[in-house]
Every structure is written in structure tokens, then in C-alpha cells.
Chain A
Amino acid sequence: MQKYSIFNLVKNAFSNHENWDLAWKDPTPKEEYDVVIIGGGGHGLATAYYLAKEHNITKVAIIEKGWIGGGNVGRNTTIIRSNYMHDENGLFSEFGMDLWRRMSQDLNYNVMFSPRGIINLAHSDAQMNAYARRGNSMRLNGIDAVLLNREQVKEIIPMADFSDNVRFPIFGGLMQPSAGTARHDAVAWGYARQADSMGVDIIQNCEVIGFDVSAGKINGIRTSRGNIKAKKVGLCVAGSTNILAEKLNMTLPIETHLLQACVSEPIKPVLDNVVTFGAGHFYVSQSDKGEMVMGGDLDGYNSYAQRGNLPTLQHVLTEGIAMMPFLSKLKMLRTWGGIMDMSMDGSPIIDKTHIEGLYLNCGWCYGGFKATPASGWTFAHTIAQDRVHELNAGYSLNRFSTGHLIDEKGLGTKTWIS
């Protein structure tokens, strides 16, 4: 594989950049693979990469219905954080933070990881207490957390509404300085390029039609481009999880919902951090191009539409304007929607299933993008070793039966609860 470097950039400039290798090939499906990963999004591509890199399993195919990186890894708001209270989420995400910090070097692909810090605003004394508790839990797990008072927050984000007559005055906030953002498409492309170079087949425009299961064991999949035998199959299909589960006669604690995001017109640098509103569900950061990147609640009803509806957008942006009034002066540049695999407790599932050789990775709710490396790493481990790693032991499928829910914020399918 051609290394991306300043020297190769200069060298290729002399031939008008016409001689670069393709970043990944377009192979025809082979008859059989050791592992087939369904879903060529961030998590699927990362899983294939770590299968090859950490477990030396390279007879791997990624089966993608459309094109790689065309789902939620291409539609998110690029926020990366590990500011969780529960051990399962905190340790898992912090492991991921470490992978994020090394990702550009590991993949030889600039993912533009920018650890600019995230601030969760607090709007009451009670919320300050809750944030102090979460911050302490984070620090016990080795995650950086700083509790800010009103004056400290004002110094960092003076453009927020600090006037006296507001419905939700800013009391302070909880900051994770090491959190940040990254270039989302680059993450998918970087993983794809490395996986491809290690022998993984990335097969696009190939829809999974069914599964070949006999005697409780998976033997392969049926696709629009023919049958493929496989010893092991991993599902990484986010919002399409329920559709594939139905073909396997499985009913999962997952509902598919619509989540929107939007960007404003580009403006000069004004916001250095990621900021979240504490009295509702709204978050904002500023992209390198200058756009304000914003998002919030689900549309609130089951949907596979991948396009949003205005009432929710209006609700979300009303919260944004309450937090930072200057946002009302901006023109909206783009809005878009993606379909989320919402789990019933708001936490993900990375586990084996009752079918031997079939593995499940789903339930990412609002937080799939930041989990990409840790999800791929632990899912690869689970598939390769046929047992869960301690990092994803809590993300079991049967926790809903045993009562071991990971109720971080109760942000599952029922938006009206939060």
C-alpha cells in the first residue's frame, strides 16, 4: 500500500496526482470467508481492520448494501467523548479515546482528531450536584473531568446567554477537556483503506437477503450477488438491525428511530468546544469550515426514512437559541437525518447470540460515532475469540432479561421520558 506522506504528496504532484493507488479495491465476492461482517459503516470497517490487525484473521469480507460510510458514519455530528458515569460505558469509551488519539498514525490517514473539550451546561443546583457526582465517577475511572462554576464557563463560552432573566440560567458545567471531534468520513475511509491492504474484501452494492442457519449454527449468507459461505458472521448494521433480525427470527430490544442534525452557514471561529444544553437535548460545535454543527432529540416515532421532520428541528433549535441567542441570526445550510438503532436502556449491545457463529453489534443510539474504534476492537475480539472481552461484557444481549440494564441517562426509545 502506498504510504500517505508529504514526500509522496510532492512526488505525485509532478504527475498531476494521476498515479495514486486506489484506496481500496472493488472485489467480486469469493465463495467462502472465515468471517463476514455485514455493514460497511464505521463499526463494520473498524471490526474488519482489528480482526486483521489484532487477530490475524484476513479471510474477511465486508458486505455493504450501498456504499461504505454512507450511513450514520457519514451523518453524525462527529463528537468524541467518554464522559460517562457508569463503569461499563466509561471504561469502554475511555479505551476508545486512547484509540482515537493514535488513530491518524495507526491508519496513516488524517482523521483530524481535535481534542477541543466538551462542556455539559448545568442549569440548577441539583444539576451541579449530579455533574459533580458524574465527574467524580469519571475521575475514578481515569477519565479527565473538571467541574466549572458560572464564571469559569463564561470565560470559555462568553457568547452563551448569561443574562439574568432567562428561563434556564447557567449555573456551571462539567467539562471533559480531552473530548473532541474528528473528520467522520476520514474514519470510515481510513479503516477501509487499511483493512483492504491487509486482505479484507470490501464488497459494496451487495444486499443481504437471508441467512443460512442449520442446527443452531450459521453456515453463510444469501446476498443479491450470490451465496457466501462463512464460519462466522457479524452484524454491524445500526438502523437496519431489526430488518436483518427478522430474517433470523429474532426479536431484539431495539427500535429504529430517526435522528436529525444540521449545520449553519460558515462563520468566523467563535466556538472552541463542544457545548451541550443541560435543560433539554441540544449540542453544538463549530466545524473546521466554520459551520455550527447542531443536533438534539430523535423525531420520536419509529422510522426508516433517513430524512427528518421540521417540528423536531424547530424544538431542538429553540433550545439552541435559548442557550446561545446569536444562533438565531444564522442561516441554515443543510439538515439531514439518519436512522438509529435505539436500545431500550440507551446503551449498546456487543455480544454473541443463540446462533453459533453469529455475533451482534447494535443499539448505539445517539453515540455510535465516538464508539467506532472501541466497538470495532471489542467486536473483533468477540468474533475472533468467540467470547466477549471484559470491556464489552456489560453490553450483553441478555441484560434485559437479567435486569442488568446500563441506565446511563435513560435515553432509549422514549424521548419523552428524559
Chain B
Amino acid sequence: MLYINCPHCGMRSQNEFSYGGDASVKRPQLNKEISDKDWDDFVYNRKSLRGKHLELWQHISGCRQWIKVERDTATHEIFRTFKADEEVA
């Protein structure tokens, strides 16, 4: 069982969360010219890192907020969690 420290609600079990994928992926800006390659990278292509991975989770059975989680994909250790709009250094 993973335990995720929701920045809004505190420590909860993974059963309350839903996974949203790589949080480092940025949607291309809408008002600018976008190449097909940029769209492919945004929609489909992923690094899927082994090790520290910044990812989105939604506290679906709690506050329903999207959050960012820094987790190791090889050991499942969770290092830090952030609000969705927090910049991660």
C-alpha cells in the first residue's frame, strides 16, 4: 500500500487516489504555432523514468484536487508532494 501525503488533507492511503501520469509534460501554448512533433510529445511520448519521477495524482475520494507527487518508480518510495500549481524545484 502506498501512503500519499495530500498537501490539502494529509496522509492517506493510495485507495483514495487516482493516477494521472507524468507531471513534467507541458501542454503546448494555444496561441502559438505548434509543430506536429510538439503535439506528439505532449499527447503520446513519455520518458517513463526509472528512479525519481514527478507525477500527477488526483485525490479522487478525498478533496478531489490534483496534486504532484515525487516518487521513485523502482522502489515506490514517495519523497515529496506538492499542490498542482506549485512550482517544483
Interface residues in B, total, Cβ within 8 A: 28
Contact (Cβ within 8 A) B15 A242: no
Contact (Cβ within 8 A) B73 A304: yes
A140 at the interface (CB under 8 A from B): no
Taken together as a complex, chains A and B put the C-alpha atoms of A242 and B40 apart, in Å, by 16
A367 at the interface (CB under 8 A from B): no
Given A309-B1, A310-B1, are A304 and B74 also a contact pair (CB < 8 Å)?
Answer: yes
Given A311-B1, A400-B40, A413-B21, are A251 and B47 also a contact pair (CB < 8 Å)?
Answer: yes
Which of A220-228, A253-261, A288-296, A376-384 binds B?
A253-261
From residue 39 to 64 of chain B, which have CB atoms closer than 8 A to chain A?
40-41, 43-50, 53, 55
Taken together as a complex, chains A and B put the C-alpha atoms of A400 and B44 apart, in Å, by 7
Taken together as a complex, chains A and B put the C-alpha atoms of A254 and B40 apart, in Å, by 12
Contacts of A256 in B (CB 8 A): 48, 50, 73
Given A303-B73, A400-B40, A416-B18, are A242 and B55 also a contact pair (CB < 8 Å)?
Answer: no
Taken together as a complex, chains A and B put the C-alpha atoms of A251 and B43 apart, in Å, by 12
Q: Taking the nearest CB of chain A, how far is it from the CB of B51, in angstroms?
A: 8
Question: Which residue among B13, B15, B47, B50 has the maximum number of chain A CB atoms within 10 Å of its CB?
Answer: B50
Contact (Cβ within 8 A) B50 A243: yes
A246 at the interface (CB under 8 A from B): yes
Contacts of B48 in A (CB 8 A): 242, 254-256, 302
The one of B1, B21, B40, B75 in contact with A255, judged by C-beta atoms closer than 8 angstroms, is B21
- The residue on A at minimum CB distance from B53 is A302
Taken together as a complex, chains A and B put the C-alpha atoms of A255 and B21 apart, in Å, by 9
The one of B21, B37, B46, B76 in contact with A303, judged by C-beta atoms closer than 8 angstroms, is B76
A166 at the interface (CB under 8 A from B): no
Q: Taking the nearest CB of chain A, how far is it from the CB of B24, in angstroms?
A: 12
A252 at the interface (CB under 8 A from B): yes
